[in-house]
Amino acid sequence: MKQNPPPPRLTLRGISKQYPGCLANDDIHLDIAPAEIHALLGENGAGKSTLMKVIYGLVKPDRGELLWDGLPIEVKDPAHARKMGIGMVFQHFSLFETLTVTENIALALGDDAGELEPLAEKIRTVSEKYGMAINPEREIHTLSVGERQRVEIVRCLVQNIKLLILDEPTSVLTPQEVDTLFVTLRQLAHEGCSILFISHKLNEVKALCHKATVLRSGRVSGECIPADEDTTSMAKLMVGDDTPVSTTYPKKLGNSPLLSVHDLNLNSPDPFGVQLKHINLTVNAGEIVGIAGVAGNGQEELLASLSGEQRCKDNKTITFADTPVGKLSPDKRREWGLAFVPEERLGRGAVPEMSLTENALLTGFLTGLVQNGMVAWKKAEAFADDIIAQYKVKTPSRQAQADSLSGGNLQKFIIGREIMQNPRILIAAHPTWGVDIGAATAIHKALINLRDQGAAILVVSEDIDELFLISDRIGAICDGALSPIKPTPESSIPELGRMMAGDFNPAREERVTP
What are the per-10-residue average pLDDT scores of the chain (514 residues)?
80 92 90 96 83 93 95 93 89 82 89 85 90 88 80 86 88 76 92 92 91 91 91 79 68 92 90 88 97 85 94 94 94 94 86 95 90 91 95 90 86 94 94 79 91 96 87 94 94 87 65 38
10-19/22-32 β-pairing: antiparallel
As a whole number of angstroms, the distance between CA 119 and CA 127 comes to: 12
Q: Domain 257-510 maps to which CATH number in 3.40.109.10, 3.30.70.60, 3.40.50.300, 3.30.1490.20?
A: 3.40.50.300
DSSP for 173-239, written as a single string: --HHHHHHHHHHHHHHHHTT-EEEEE-S-HHHHHHH-SEEEEEETTEEEEEE-GGGS-HHHHHHHHH
As a whole number of angstroms, the distance between CA 455 and CA 260 comes to: 14
What is the predicted pLDDT for the residue at 241? 63
What is the predicted pLDDT for the residue at 237? 80
Domain boundaries, the chain: 10-239, 257-510
Q: Helices (H), strands (E): how many in the chain?
A: 16, 23
What is the predicted pLDDT for the residue at 487? 95
| DSSP state letter for 355 | B
Q: pTM of the predicted model, to two decimals?
A: 0.72
What is the predicted pLDDT for the residue at 243? 60
What is the predicted pLDDT for the residue at 45? 73
As a whole number of angstroms, the distance between CA 456 and CA 353 comes to: 32
Angle made by CA atoms 310, 312, 315, in degrees to the nearest 5: 130
Burial class, 239, CB count within 10 angstroms (exposed 0-12 / middle 13-18 / buried 19+): buried
What is the predicted pLDDT for the residue at 2? 60
- Domain 10-239 of CATH type 3.40.50.300: yes
| DSSP state letter for 346 | B
Q: Is the fold of 10-239 the same as that of 257-510?
A: yes
